[in-house]
Structure 1
Amino acid sequence: MLYWLLKSEPDVFGYPDLVRVGKEPWNGVRNYLARNYLRQMVAGDLCLIYHSNAKPNGVAGVARVVRAAYTDNLQFDPESAYFDPKGLPDNPRWSMVDVSPVLAFPTLLTLDALRGLLEWADSPLTQKGTRLSVIPVTAEQFRAALEAVGLELEQLSAAST
């Protein structure tokens, strides 16, 4: 199992929205490195859902990948903000995964709090200027994030938001 951090803007689609819908394609990613990370995800991987462009920014909960990477169909829709005229059905450029909620954090784990965790010192998230919407997370970083809000990894196997 691998661990990831997925960024979203809570006023567009936040963790409560994921809880409400139950399962959602994580689409609209238009950065090649982030896309490559999406393509590495497999069903069962766990993701920290991070609210960006919020006050404050931070991790709101945990989701699980329920469908591995497949073609992001928004690239073919000229009405979509994520349309890419270079994306072709026989040679798609962009991918997405489906995620489902696992457990909401009891409190938002803020970016400042993450910066205070030794395990997160070398994470691209805690560095200035990093804007990737999909970031790999080590097992140690994932566990430290959970512990920072009073949760344990073992709680996730039985949890269902």
Structure 2
Amino acid sequence: MNYWLMKSEPEAYSIADLQQQKETIWDGIRNYQARNFLRQMDEGDLAFFYHSNANPPNIAGLMRVVKKDIADPTQFEPESKYYDPKSSSESPRWQTVVVEFVEAFSNPILLSILKEEFSAEELMLVKQGNRLSVMPVPEAVALKILAMKTSYPFKSQ
């Protein structure tokens, strides 16, 4: 199993929305590196749900990949802001996954805490200027984050 971090602005789609809907297609990714990470995901992988552009930004919960290699339907919809006229159903440029709700953290893990605990080499999220919406999380880091959610409010030693 692999671990990932996937960002969404809570006003657009939040962990509460996923909890209510149970599962969703993770559409609208239009960065090639993020798309390539989506292509690497396998069913059963876990992803941290990160609320970006929140006050404060935080890991809000956990979700699981339940379907992989899905053509992002928004690339074919001319009225969508994610429409890609160079993409076709025969040769889609943008793939994604379907995720299901696993857990909302009762105490979200703040970005400021993540920056205290992890270097940019350990966790891409804390790298200065990183704007990727989908990124891998090494297993050792993921396990530490999972442990942090139960000991929060987390205090640095």
Please give the secondary structure, in 2, of the residue aligned with 1:104.
strand
Structure 2 residues not aligned, in runs of 5+: 152-157
Residues 111-126 of structure 1 correspond to what in structure 2 (within 5 A)? 111-118=111-118, 120-122=119-121, 123-126=123-126
Q: Which runs of 4+ in 1 moved over 3 A?
A: none
Separation in 2, partners of 1:71, 1:149: 33
Residues 39-50 of structure 1 correspond to what in structure 2 (within 5 A)? 39-50=39-50
Query: What is the identity, as a one-letter code, of the residue corresponding to 2:16?
Result: P
Please give the secondary structure, in 1, of the residue aligned with 2:81.
coil
The CA deviation at 1:108 is 1.2
Match of 2:79 in 1: 79
The CA deviation at 1:129 is 0.6
Match of 2:154 in 1: none
Residues 140-159 of structure 1 correspond to what in structure 2 (within 5 A)? 140-150=140-150
Note the alpha carbon deviations across 1:21-74, whole angstroms, 9 max, x for none. Answer: 001000100000100100111110000000001100010000000001211111
Residues 10-159 of structure 1 correspond to what in structure 2 (within 5 A)? 10-118=10-118, 120-122=119-121, 123-150=123-150
User: Conserved in 2, the CA contact under 8 Å of 1:117 and 1:144?
Assistant: no
Q: When the two structures are superposed, what TM-score results if normalisation uses the length of structure 1?
A: 0.90
Separation in 2, partners of 1:101, 1:89: 28
Considering fraction of residues, name the structure with more helix.
1
RMSD between aligned residues: 1.1
Separation in 2, partners of 1:82, 1:116: 35
Q: When the two structures are superposed, what TM-score results if normalisation uses the length of structure 2?
A: 0.92
Please give the secondary structure, in 2, of the residue aligned with 1:17.
helix
Structure 1 residues not aligned, in runs of 5+: 152-161
